[in-house]
Homo-oligomer: A and B are copies of this chain.
Amino acid sequence: MGERLILSIDAMGGDKAPEVVIDGMALFAKDMKHVDFLVHGDEAVLRDLLAQHGVLKGRYEIVHTQSVILNDMKASQALRRGKGSSMWNAVEAVKSGAAAASVSAGNTGALMAISMLLLRKMDGVKRPGMTALWPTVTGRAVILDVGANLEATGRQLLKFAIMGEAFARAALEIERPRIGILNVGSEDMKGHEEVRRAHELLQNCGLDIDYRGFVEGDDISAGAVDVVVTDGFTGNIAIKAGEGVAHMAGTFIRDALTATPWAKFGALLAASGLKRMKSRMDPARVNGGVLLGLNGVSVKSHGGTSAEGFATACRLAEHLVQSQYDDEIHANLAKIESGTLAQTQSQQS
């Protein structure tokens, strides 16, 4: 038997915590017999919840705290007053080496700030980038940055590409992820200065990565690339705009299939296909974001996710820990800091 892997869970973060968090953890634990848990939160509540899941027996330790980061707390407040909270402790366990990675469904801004403070930035990374997974016709894609930074220079976009590439290999289990930069057209001269600069850098960086050039908004769902690189402002708006349309489509489908008794009966007949459709569109399937560029894995689960969704976020943490994604990022960042890229740049300037 291999080594045990320990995940650090913020049991108190998220809209339906701690119930959904513990249910999701248990779902994940079923398939992942090599994983144990540090569970951060109110012991009195957690003890009973955890005891309900036979699969967790002997596989967890509760780290008691009554302090919780609230959803409306600003990142700056969380940094000042968050010490000792379930979220803080969950991330601190990664820093101390007590756990391999943490998962929290709590306040996004607070989690980014606390993770950045405790885990620190990797060498060569000025701006960590937040990832999101996006459902596509053929599978899933990674998009980053989705909100850690509002703007990004060409060079930062290059680093997002490097980080996203290694992340996609680990998270999506794709050997050679295809990378694209999000833009308003696919021709070289399209877009603002920073995306054109990033395009040039990626074309000439000499890294062994599969850069496919510019992609447009509709290319994301079409699965044109596996890694979509953009600034945090655009990325955040793109994923939320997409979520909004998916939600609307779901509403329209439900309306259509409940409009008449015949329609309801028809939906029953089509149940197997509809179930598959639901799972392909299910937000739980794409749950889990990571602030890339830190020394340690801190996974953010959607606050309103289901138990299945929280399990997906745990799976993401496990995949990242098992992979060499951080070594790969290190290596590629080092290459662009020193070698090929510096040459390319001096030739061009």
Which A residues form the contact surface with B (CB < 8 A)?
135-137, 147, 150-151, 182-184, 191-192, 216-222, 230, 232-234, 236-249, 251-253, 255-260, 262-263, 265-270, 272-274, 276-277, 280-281
- With A222-B244, A265-B266 known as contacts, the answer to whether A233 contacts B234 (CB < 8 A) is yes
Known A257-B273, A259-B276; further 19 A-B contacts with Cβ < 8 A: A137-B248, A184-B237, A217-B236, A217-B241, A217-B242, A230-B237, A234-B237, A237-B237, A238-B241, A245-B249, A249-B253, A252-B280, A257-B270, A259-B272, A260-B273, A262-B269, A263-B269, A267-B270, A270-B270
Which B-chain residue is minimally distant from A147 (CB atoms)? B184
Q: What is the oligomeric copy number?
A: 2
Q: Verify A237–B238 contact, CB threshold 8 A.
A: yes
User: In the complex, what's the smallest C-beta–C-beta distance from A76 to chain B, in angstroms?
Assistant: 11
Closest chain-B Cβ to A137's Cβ sits at a distance in Å of 5
Q: How far does the Cβ of A53 sit from chain B's closest Cβ, in whole Å?
A: 33
A147 vs B233: C-alpha distance when bound (angstroms): 16
Q: Which of B222, B241, B259 contacts A242 (CB 8 A)?
A: B241
Q: Is A237 a contact partner of B182 (Cβ separation < 8 A)?
A: yes
Q: Which of B218, B259, B280 contacts A243 (CB 8 A)?
A: B218
Alpha-carbon distance A150/B280, docked complex (angstroms): 34
